[in-house]
Structure 1
Amino acid sequence: MTVLEGFAGAGGLSEGARMIGLAPTLGFEVNADACRTARAAGHPRVQADVRALDPARLGGTEGWISGPPCPTYAASGKRSGRADYGAVLAAVEHLADTQRPRCFLDGIGAEVTDPRTALVLETLDLALSLPRLRWLVAEQVPAVAGIWREMAAELAAMHRWDACTVLTLRADDFGAATRRTRVFLIATRDGAPDLTGLPYRNRWDCQRFGPGPTDRPPHPLTPFPATSMAAALGWPTGVRVNTRGNRQTSGGNEFSADRPALSLTGNGARTWYRTDHGPTAGRLTDRDAGRLQTFPPDYPWHGSRSARFQRIADAVPPVMAAAVLGAATRRPWQHAVWNRLTDLYGHTRPDVPHTRTCTDRPDAPQLDLFTLPMPKEETAA
């Protein structure tokens, strides 16, 4: 196994990896429903805490994908991570300098308001601990951009990583029917990532050699078509979606389905419904929600309705994941994204016939997990 995923969830980044032929990756995840979902979709999972990983037993790892939980940083959460932001930034520098990272991480986890806030630091810990690591991709909500930049600066300046980039991306720029925004850290040891054709809202670079950190202007041009929520789900035009029942907020409680959907949240999207069908018949299904995120319509979500929607909301849209992982590993990714958009939404790439590749298949070969060294399994909290 050469690619590991931490906080791997139900398979958003795993799907992206499979789309570009990078699969199978081996994911570590504590949530049982997420593990069952990913395994049923053909993505290897170990139900274990990332903090239990022993880097000494994973020395052959060449790629590290990290998606730490975001509730303490997200605008839709309690935002407790904002209060500990300075402590986490300081911890990045200390972690990069310490000789005993595990002891230090255990200490900072006990100091922050919510222990989940410190889990972003596991991204840097594994990046520093895996001796053969060649590339890293990490994702989070936009509020974590400053932490990713601090990690990037440490990797480039002190640990011989050639190029580090922090990108703000939005899913609808890749043709998805949702406006989900995520910030990615891409770090590479062998030259720079290939960002050709990647539409980004914000970009920040730092390099081992050359000029210092650089902010670049947005690259708004996208080769992919816009997809409305109505078009993605086969609804007629003019449909409106209720998001909060009878509760009114300054932003209202409805939006038009004739544009990409709002970013899905676990507690929010499960209560959405078509106003023309009513709150029972018009409820969004898990397949609908997954389709908006560019998961296949038959993706095998597991758990209760609340659990399924939480897994969907936690996931990175696969088309966006495929693009970022392709850029980091310098693999072609645009054709794979177009294939997914064609399969889901009927879009056709101009002047290029649609052909399916073996990496689109959910039954792609898997590695035998029992032949790999594994950390002690832990059940979900």
Structure 2
Amino acid sequence: MESTANEDHEEEEHQMRTLPPAVATAVHVATLARKAGRPIPPKVYAVLEAAADPWPAEWLLAPLPGDPIRVVELFAGPGGWSEGIAAVLGVKVDAVGVDISPDACATARAAGHRRICADITTLDPEHIALRHTVAVIISPPCPSFSIGGKLSGLEVRNIEILCDAICHVSEAAGFLPTDRIFDFHDEDDYDADGDCACAFGEGCRSPYAPRSGATWDDVREAAAGVSDPRIALMLEVVIWPLALQAAGAPIRWMAMEQSSNLPEDILEDLGVEFSCADWFYTSSEVLEAADYGLPSRRKRVYMIAARHYAPTVTRRIRPLPATAMAQALGWEPGERVNTRGNRPVDPKTGRAKGGNSFSADGPSWCLTGKSRTWKRESDGLRLTASEAGLLVGFRRSYPWQGSRTSAFQQAADVVSPVMAAIVLSGVMGAYGEALVRDYLAQLYDMDDMLTRDDYELVT
């Protein structure tokens, strides 16, 4: 499809930063070498590596036909989204994740996923190495919004500060719609009749106001007044996609995961900013992991936004048969899990006070970092990090790194690979329900997941 003059000028207005001459030469030489099937000369590669840092040197080169799409994962953790794409959906992507936790990065790397261990807010979303990025996946920390935290993200003042900062993003990116028409030309470019000699005619005018001049650090500073700095990290959900678009990257879609308590005001303002930049589709939905075959409860809100089309999020994925914790871990029926040690017994019920146990014959409670204290009541056997990972949808052999405390915290914070696959199946063009059922059947050794009479692929 041919682009309109307006679209062409949008691309001219929003272009990736010009490559320095030495880097441009290195890109040219490396591209020729790659097309010829030869290795990139070491001296050329060194130039690319220095210019792309901390991103892969190869990301400065344009993808060749058949190459997988490039995906940036922010707050990527130990690999939930990565496993959902690779292990559940079976889709190959060229992805790099960023996370501030050394242990989470070590886990992801041990599992074969690339990671940059860094504070996301210190990285430039318009870096020249991101010039060919197609998608962004973002999972900001949720303690400020979740019941397990202090709920500071639900305080009215914090919501107001964050929403006000969100509203500056499209302006900073140059996507603030305006009733005025801003020309790209000076007065001398027009003849006596007011006509422009530009080949695009009326199409040379932009529907957006010029970029405000605010840096991304300036935009982040607008949210500095929140009581918990983690609240302000929600800004990255819209900063990175719009910054990449403004810089000329072929960004197509973004996906986000956050606590189900995320205020509707924040979701609405995120959607407004995407619509300002002409993203065709934005949708959010709260999903409970236990409703999709996982043996642990975890309710989260997921958002998908796309520039050029409306992907299906969960329309092709129906709720799946429940999986019991005992079934997933290979325990006998009737087991109970103690979560808080020995506590006083309520004489009326005969059970410990304080809600410190639950039946393993259904999905487990939502895992937290304190799940490391869980033990089987029948013999006192403690839950292992491997079993915790299994409960949230990772294979038993997943290589959790760090201390026991760290491993359990990673499993508690991570996006389940199953939920990642469900959310991304639309934008990945995968038959999500069939793939998710197959993955769950193998993970929990449940043939009935595939042979149930009510199984029918939704198309």
Give me the TM-score of the superposition, normalised by structure 2. Answer: 0.67
| SS state at 2:167 partner | helix
Deviating beyond 6 angstroms after TM superposition, the runs of 4 or more aligned structure 1 residues are: none
1:370 corresponds in structure 2 to none
Residue equivalent to 2:109: 39
**1:181 and 1:101, CA in 2 relative to 1: closer, same or farther beyond 3 A?**
farther
SS in 2 for 1:270: helix
Q: Quote the Cα distance in structure 2 between the aligned partners of 1:323 and 1:236.
A: 30
8 Å contact kept, 1:149–1:166? no
How far did 1:198 drift? 4.7
Contact kept? 1:67, 1:140, Cα under 8 Å:
yes
The answer on whether the counterparts of 2:255 and 2:304 sit within 8 Å (CA) in structure 1 is yes
* Cα deviation, residue 287, structure 1: 0.7
Q: Secondary structure at the match of 2:255?
A: strand
Find 2:396's aligned residue among 294, 297, 309.
297
Native 8 Å contact 2:295 2:322 kept in 1:
yes
Conserved in 2, the CA contact under 8 Å of 1:135 and 1:329?
no
Cα offset for 1:10?
Answer: 0.3
Partner amino acid, structure 2, of 1:180: R
Aligned-pair distance for 1:197?
A: 4.0
Structure 1 residue ranges without an equivalent (≥5) = 200-220, 353-381
Shift of 1:250: 7.5
Whether contact under 8 Å (1:194, 1:330) holds in the other structure is no
TM-score (norm: length of structure 1): 0.81
Change (3 A) 1:170 1:106: same
Following TM superposition, by how much is the alpha carbon of 1:196 offset from its aligned partner in structure 2, in angstroms?
5.4
Which of 406, 411, 419 is the equivalent residue of 1:307?
Answer: 406
In structure 2, C-alpha distance between the alignment counterparts of 1:181 and 1:225, rounded to whole Å: 17
How many angstroms apart in 1 are the aligned matches of 2:373 and 2:222?
37
Structure-to-structure mapping, 1:51-66, within 5 angstroms: 51-54=121-124, 55-57=126-128, 58-66=130-138
User: CA contact under 8 A between 2:165 and 2:220: conserved in structure 1?
Assistant: no
Q: The residue matched to 1:185 in structure 2 has which SS?
A: strand
| CA–CA separation in structure 2 for the residues paired with 1:198 and 1:78 | 36
Residue 161 of structure 1: aligned partner:
279
CA–CA separation in structure 2 for the residues paired with 1:15 and 1:322: 8
Distance 1:196 1:142 in 2: 16
Distance in 2 (CA, whole Å) between partners of 1:338 and 1:24 is 25
Distance 2:429 2:165 in 1: 31
Report the CA distance between 1:127 and its aligned residue.
Answer: 1.3
Three-state SS of the structure 1 residue aligned to 2:121 is helix
Q: Structure 1 pair 310/196, CA: closer, same or farther in 2 (3 Å)? A: closer
Does the CA-based 8 Å contact 2:389-2:395 persist in structure 1? Answer: yes
Q: CA deviation at 1:97?
A: 2.5
Matched, 1:270 2:372: yes
Question: In structure 2, what is the Cα distance between the partners aligned to 1:59 and 1:106?
Answer: 22
Choose the corresponding residue for 1:79, options 141, 151, 165.
Answer: 151
Matched residue of 2:256: which SS?
strand
> Residues 1-381 of structure 1 correspond to what in structure 2 (within 5 A)?
2-18=70-86, 19-20=88-89, 21-54=91-124, 55-57=126-128, 58-83=130-155, 84-98=158-172, 99=212, 100-131=214-245, 132-146=250-264, 147-156=266-275, 158-195=276-313, 197-198=315-316, 221-222=318-319, 224-247=320-343, 252-266=355-369, 268-278=370-380, 282-348=381-447, 349-350=449-450
Query: In 2, distance between residues paired with 1:36 and 1:232?
Result: 26
Instruction: Tell whether the 8 Å contact from 1:287 to 1:297 is kept in structure 2 after alignment.
Output: yes
| Deviation by residue 1:265-306 (Cα, 9 ceiling, x = unmatched) | 11x21111111112xxx1110011000011010000000110
Is the CA contact (8 Å cut-off) linking 2:314 and 2:422 kept in structure 1? Answer: no
Instruction: Please report how far the alpha carbon of residue 178 of structure 1 lies from its aligned counterpart in structure 2 after TM superposition.
Output: 0.7
Contact 2:314 2:423 in 1 (8 A): no
Give the paired residue count.
325
SS in 2 for 1:140: strand
**2:77–2:104 contact (8 Å) kept in structure 1:** yes
3-state secondary structure, aligned to 1:111: coil
Structure 2, gaps ≥5 residues long: 1-58, 60-69, 173-211, 345-351, 453-459
Counterpart amino acid of 1:243? Answer: T
Distance in 2 (alpha carbons) for counterparts of 1:74 and 1:343: 32
Larger Rg: 2
Q: Give me the identity figure in percent.
A: 41
How much is the aligned-residue C-alpha RMSD, in angstroms?
A: 1.9
Question: For residues 85 and 174 of structure 1, do their structure 2 counterparts lie closer, same or farther at Cα, with a shift above 3 Å needed?
Answer: same
- Kindly indicate whether the alpha-carbon contact (under 8 Å) linking 1:108 and 1:118 is maintained by their aligned counterparts in 2: no
Q: Aligned with 2:222: secondary structure?
A: helix
Higher RCO structure (Cα 8 Å, ≥6 apart): 1
C-alpha distance 251-182 of structure 1, shift in aligned 2 (>3 A): farther
Could you tell me which residue of structure 2 aligns to residue 375 of structure 1?
A: none
1:342 maps to amino acid: A
**Quick one: distance in 2 between partners of 1:182 and 1:106?**
25
Query: How far did 1:328 drift?
Result: 2.8
